[in-house]
Chains A and B, each alone.
Chain A
Amino acid sequence: MTRYLPLVRAALARRRARTVLTIGSVLIAFLLFALLMSVRQAFLGGIRAVGKRILITANVVSLVSPLPLADRTIIASVPGVRRVAYEVWFGGYYRRTGNFIFALAVDPPTFLAELRGELGLSPRARARWIADRRGVLVGNAIAQRFGWRVGEVIPLRSNVWRRTNGTNTWPVRVDGILRPSEKRYAQLALLHYHYLSETLAKNTGLSGKVSLYRVEIAHARDAAAVSRAIDARFANSPDPTRTSTARTFLLNFLDQIADIGTIVTAILAAVFFTMLLVTANTMARSVRERTAEFAVLRTLGYGPGRLFGLVVAEAALLVGAGAVLGLLLGLGLVAVLHGLLAAILPGLALPPSSFALGLALVVLFVLASSLVPYLQITRLAVADALRRE
């Protein structure tokens, strides 16, 4: 097919400004595509990585209502459950309430056992922290943000809890920095549950409680059955539970913030609809202008199929160039934004699946914008076209 390349190239060179502007429009569409897919990834990308064998058991009232710590042994006795970890929402901040820190008070051994390699924690730091009741593990994103180093003692404050001494400040020593592959954990800070519970003011009425349980099950396929079994155990207790997979739990929370998926799709639909119109119009005009040329080619023995092939190649070159440039530019921009927005929007990255989707969009674009030229070519009256010149 390469021998037709000069023909196709020549057609695109015919009106240089138009070609450049059309490629520009497609480029913008794919640049936005790259950006929005990255934003979507930042919000929803972590979901896929959430372990399928982790269930979350929370109070049926809402996720901010606590559960008794005593539930732990009951959950552990449910068939299919392998391990039970628990966590308490610490509501952490550093100095000002605006410096929010996603801090959890946990039981170190079980919590680490469940997340295993996902946290990117060195064995030494792990051992140090487990042994250090007043220790804290912090994600590299927050460590970087506040300039914390291992060994440093940080006055971590809580907007939820108060201490017996009347303050809301817990001095904690940084025992290790998490360098997780999963970007969500880069914002995490982990304290010892027992440090919190022992120093908690009695009048809070919340001692001996946890925010939620993280339940590891033996087989992912049992998730629904085990969830039902756990909830059944507590159905008639003062604190009934609602158990779901960690994925469902997280997805529901994100969905409450915003339906990012739908918003991204809607904007992209508007963008691509507009740009498709531009490309399709360019192709239609280009073919119409060359009606006589196509007629000449017909007299030289070019069939309609071959002429259409040339038009498709032309469209593919236009759209392909725009798409490749747009995606490349998008990759660069996402890399820059990733650095700039690390604190607000961690995990901003173009997911590999976008390239397949991008390719599908290119094919769709090419076919859609070749539709009018197809009609023009098949209905081309050669004799008339030559006379018109």
Chain B
Amino acid sequence: MTETAAQPSSEPLIRLERVSKSYRRGGETIQVLDRVDLAIPRGDFLALMAPSGSGKSTLLNLLGGLDRPDEGSILFDGVALESLGPRALTRWRATHVGFVFQLYHLLPVLSAARNVELPLLLQRLGRAERSRRVAAALSLVGFPDDRHTFRPTELSGGQQQRVAIARAIVTNPTVLLCDEPTGDLDRRAGDEILDLLVELNRRLDKTIVMVTHDPHAAERAHTLVRLEKGLVGEIRATSS
């Protein structure tokens, strides 16, 4: 967390260069993204707003290396993702990216703490170190201490999303990719999750890319990008 990293710098963390992506559905080809250019500065909290079907999830998947563009290039910290092989891409994801989903996607058969521990299992860490980090992550997201052993089904939606965020940040990734993180929550729980994301962005300098269709949620980000018909539309800084 250096001084320079605290402010959006001139060299963006992520740069999309003429990225296109299309799907075949039935007989026809649907152009989801059409030569999209986008730069996301380090430390930014960016909200992507778009009507459904305009390719926002696709964009997020591309950013997370879950999918590859048909054309164009995605540069992450100067590294072109399309140049990485499947193995390297998996390793890159494990170190740099944390995902947060609308439906939390916690494993129902594991306790909250075990869910958070999942990404740590991939690193060479002792059991004690793992549980220390799990506890730290859970306390950071404001998850109650006495519920670590609870299963996801025993938790409220807001609590499940906190566990999911703890799981996303426990490996200290560079960027958090959030897909409608408040989409399944009521207003109050949603606000608390947004407060948490803002906090993570400010205090821990996490770069956050959040897809949402909720203007209220988008308001909380630094930067707002509207996607329309596969093209990047308006880009503006929000009030905060």
Which residues of A come within 8 Å of B, CB atoms?
3-4, 6-7, 10-11, 13-14, 292-293, 296-304, 306, 382-383, 386-387, 389
Contacts and interface: CB of A to CB of B under 8 A. Distances in A.
Interface in B74-115: 86-87, 90-91, 93-95, 97, 99, 101, 103, 105, 107, 109-110, 114
B20 to A, nearest CB: 16
A306 B86 CA distance: 13
7 contacts: A7-B107, A10-B109, A300-B122, A301-B171, A302-B94, A303-B86, A382-B66
Nearest to A387: B57
A382 B60 CA distance: 12
Contacts of A13: 109
Interface in B102-151: 103, 105, 107, 109-110, 114, 118-119, 121-122, 127, 130
Given A3-B121, A11-B109, A302 B90 contact: yes
B109 A299 contact: no
A214 B97 CA distance: 81
B167 A300 contact: yes
A383 B167 contact: no
Contacts of B90: 298, 301-304
Contact of B119 (A3, A300, A382): A300
A301 B66 contact: no
Given A6-B114, A302-B122, A306-B122, A296 B107 contact: yes
B181 interface: no
Nearest to B103: A389
Contacts of B110: 6-7, 10
A191 B234 CA distance: 110
A385 to B, nearest CB: 10
User: Chain B: interface residue count, which band?
Assistant: 20 to 34
Given A300-B119, A386-B105, 11 more contacts: A3-B121, A3-B127, A3-B130, A7-B121, A296-B101, A299-B99, A300-B167, A301-B90, A301-B91, A301-B93, A383-B67
A342 B101 CA distance: 67
Contacts of B58: 383
Contacts of A382: 61, 66-67
Question: Which of A7, A293, A299, A382 gathers the greatest number of chain B CB atoms within 10 Å?
Answer: A299
B64 interface: yes
B118 A297 contact: yes
Contacts of B167: 300
Question: Which of A7, A297, A301, A306 gathers the greatest number of chain B CB atoms within 10 Å?
Answer: A301
A1 to B, nearest CB: 10
B24 to A, nearest CB: 13
Contact of B121 (A4, A293, A299, A386): A4
A10 B107 contact: yes
A383 B109 contact: no
A59 to B, nearest CB: 73
Give the top 6 A-B pairs by smallest Cβ distance, nearest first: A301-B94, A10-B109, A303-B90, A299-B99, A383-B61, A296-B105
Nearest to A9: B109
Secondary structure dominating the interface of B: helix
Contacts of B171: 301
Contacts of A10: 107, 109-110, 114
A301 B119 contact: yes
Nearest to B100: A299
Interface string B190-205: 0000000000000000
A386 B97 CA distance: 16
Nearest to A296: B105
A254 to B, nearest CB: 53
Contacts of A292: 105
A383 B62 CA distance: 9
A109 B102 CA distance: 91
Given A7-B110, A10-B107, A10-B110, A298 B122 contact: no
Contacts of B94: 300-302
Contacts of B67: 382-383
Nearest to B105: A296
B42 to A, nearest CB: 21
Given A10-B107, A292-B105, A386-B101, A299 B118 contact: no
Given A302-B90, A303-B90, A382-B66, A293 B107 contact: yes
A300 B118 contact: yes
Contacts of A306: 122
Interface string B4-39: 000000000000000000000000000000000000
Nearest to A383: B61
A382 B61 CA distance: 9
A206 B122 CA distance: 84
B84 to A, nearest CB: 12
B127 to A, nearest CB: 7
B109 A14 contact: yes
Contacts of A389: 103, 105
Nearest to A389: B103
A383 B103 CA distance: 14
Contacts of B97: 299, 301
B26 to A, nearest CB: 15
A316 B122 CA distance: 21
A301 B95 contact: yes
Contacts of A303: 86-87, 90-91
A371 to B, nearest CB: 20
Question: Which of A303, A306, A387 gathers the greatest number of chain B CB atoms within 10 Å?
Answer: A303
Question: Which of B91, B94, B122, B167 gathers the greatest number of chain A CB atoms within 10 Å?
Answer: B122
A34 to B, nearest CB: 33
Contacts of A11: 109
Contacts of A297: 118
